Amino acid sequence: MPSARSSTVPSSRIGPSWRPGPPRGRGPLLGTLALLVACHAAGAQESAIDTMSLRRVAAFLASDELRGRGTGTVGEEMAASFLADRCRALGLETVGSDQYHHPVALERATILESRTRVRVTGPDTDTTFVLGEEFIPDVGTAATLRGFAGPLAYVGRARDLLFRRSDLPDLRGAVALMRGELGAWGEAADTLFARGAVGLIQVVDDARRYRLFRATRGPTRLYLADEASPSSFIPVLPAILAGPRMTVTLYEGLTGVTHGSWNDAYLNGLAAGLPSPRLLDGWRAEVEVGTRAEPVTARNVACVLRGEGPAADTAIALVAHYDHLGVGEPDLAGDSIYNGFSDNATGVAMALGVAQALARDRAVGRGLRHSLLLLFFTGEEQGLLGADAFVARPAWPLGRLRGVLNLDANAPAGPPRAWRIAGDDTSPLVRLVDAEARRQGWETTIAPAAPGSDYYAFHRRGVPSVFVVPSDGPYEGVGVTVSDSLRAAVWGRYHRPDDEYRADFPFAGLQRYAAFTRDVVRRLDAAR
């Protein structure tokens, strides 16, 4: 799952509250993990989902050998070859050609430190900020990784902006200054662009979150080489993310308070005194962004389990991105490989696990009527690049997709009893998923579709699409406190080098997640 167009957590354009909040515990509780495995051993034996296969696939994809599966790298190419081999071993056919690999033409822009800076001027202020510690360009394309300049206009929070658009000042030619929360920033940026803003400075007034962005963005940006393929993730408004020092300078200018210490309490106090949205008299921002671009080729991987009968030309798609962040800033232990176990080696493993189970069913006469299409996308972490490339030139006609089920970035450490469903709540597909969960005795919540993962590229083209993830709450067999600690042991590692495979990680939760996906596929296949 990418890290910045999001809802309540860092991500380039993610949806409604999809990741758990700040970690509330540290490290796996080994005794509890063993208990979960023991409690659910019988269920594992009864399930058609092979947990050993899940484990083998996830462990290989998250291994150091693949160097974090960065988009367009040798490690990602190794992962693509592995996935093609898995499709072949399961007897799955190629899609759209005689190859499992589908090339995706990209460009990689390296941000040039010597040509990238921000200058902010105002009453008694003239400050130039440097790349890295003080700001970074956000995700972009060839058209939006560029400089911009104009008078500053404060527009408030992204989420408020979407509901109070009439309160916006005249933004023609202005640089919008938007506060914090990255949840709705994509749609908010599109609104600002429509109102005439020429650029966006988004303050990140949490130092830990800014460091996460800086580490995961790195010195380069990737985008589709074909600018005619519209992005589902990246707004058309060029944007930068402001770090703590720039945030303090801007907030002090807006509130009239000066000379505070740079800590969270001070920043929170400044934020409480921010004005209503308005043009900021005498304030101006000038942003310069210099880049050097080079071509890069990455690959989607696609395969299909053919249905039986006249409905086989229509498919149910499982999508899971197989890229991650590659090699980046080292952590305190010196580890610089971002292995991406939960994001998204486990999602890929589950998609293959579902296909394996349904292929076995087919061999004994219980095959699907419709085909099962597996799509493993590149470049999701860089902005849904592989998914956008696919929907622009689909190897399987979009009009013959019965539904898209997304598997991404949530490795439950125990069997979930509640689910969050993102999609169009009027869609028969969302209602079907909700009904299947409730039939199995589980709780559900439904949220609107948002650009947090690859399914959104299909959703915006009108293809029925849904993103289902385990919700907060206790896992089966353990209480709330232990469940929260287990969840934090996984999600406390989000976009960090220690999000890696561990032999003591219990796969009972992933087994249930995959089995639920299989059950939804069967229910959708049977629906008329």
pLDDT band at 165; cut points 50, 70, 90? low
Together in a domain, 156 and 37: no
Residue 401: phi, psi to the nearest 5? Answer: -105, 120
pLDDT band at 124; cut points 50, 70, 90? confident
Residue 207 near residue 242 (C-beta atoms within 8 A): no
- 293 by DSSP, 3-state: which? strand
Together in a domain, 58 and 181: no
* Helix, strand, coil percentages, rounded to 5, for the chain: 35, 25, 40
Output the pLDDT for position 30: 37
Together in a domain, 69 and 97: yes
pLDDT at 20 over 90: no
Domain presence at residue 422 = yes
Domain presence at residue 17 = no
pLDDT at 262 over 90: no
Strands 278-288 and 239-242: unpaired
Last residue of a domain, one of 255, 289, 323: 289
Between residues 398 and 190, which one has the greater pLDDT?
398
Output the pLDDT for position 181: 58
Domain presence at residue 22 = no
pLDDT at 402 over 50: yes
Output the pLDDT for position 215: 83
Together in a domain, 443 and 334: yes
Between residues 11 and 277, which one has the greater pLDDT?
277
Q: How far apart are CA 477 and CA 334, in angstroms?
A: 37
Residues 6+ apart with CB under 8 A from 404: 317, 319, 455, 458, 459, 463, 464, 465, 466
Give the Cβ contact number of residue 110 at 10 Å: 14
Average pLDDT over all residues of the chain: 87
pLDDT at 480 over 80: yes
- 130 by DSSP, 3-state: which? strand
Q: Residue 391 belongs to a domain with what CATH number?
A: 3.40.630.10
Output the pLDDT for position 22: 31
Together in a domain, 306 and 349: yes
> Which residue range(s) make up the domain with 435?
30-108+296-526
Output the pLDDT for position 34: 43
Q: How far apart are CA 123 and CA 121, in angstroms?
A: 7
pLDDT band at 100; cut points 50, 70, 90? very high
Together in a domain, 512 and 435: yes
**% of the chain beyond a pLDDT of 70:** 89
pLDDT band at 157; cut points 50, 70, 90? confident
Domain presence at residue 11 = no
Together in a domain, 399 and 341: yes
Together in a domain, 318 and 463: yes
Domain presence at residue 129 = yes
Domain presence at residue 246 = yes
Last residue of a domain, one of 259, 289, 319: 289
pLDDT at 405 over 70: yes
Between residues 394 and 180, which one has the greater pLDDT?
394
* Domains: count for the chain: 2
Together in a domain, 440 and 379: yes
Between CA 28 and CA 33, with CA 30 as vertex, the angle to 5 degrees is 85
pLDDT at 340 over 90: yes
* Mean pLDDT across 62-75: 97
Say which amino acid occupies 406: N
Q: How far apart are CA 217 and CA 162, in angstroms?
A: 26
Residue 422 near residue 14 (C-beta atoms within 8 A): no
Together in a domain, 323 and 439: yes
pLDDT at 9 over 60: no
Last residue of a domain, one of 237, 261, 289: 289
pLDDT at 25 over 70: no
> Which residue in 181, 154, 180, 179 sits closest to 168, CA to CA?
154
* Mean pLDDT across 3-22: 33
Domain presence at residue 10 = no
The tens digit of pLDDT for each residue in 188-242 reads 888 899 999 999 999 887 888 888 888 888 899 999 998 777 899 888 999 999 9
Together in a domain, 210 and 354: no
Q: Residue 232 belongs to a domain with what CATH number?
A: 3.50.30
* Mean pLDDT across 270-290: 90
* Mean pLDDT across 17-26: 31
pLDDT at 1 over 60: yes
Both structure tokens of 311? 């409905």
Together in a domain, 101 and 119: no
Domain presence at residue 16 = no
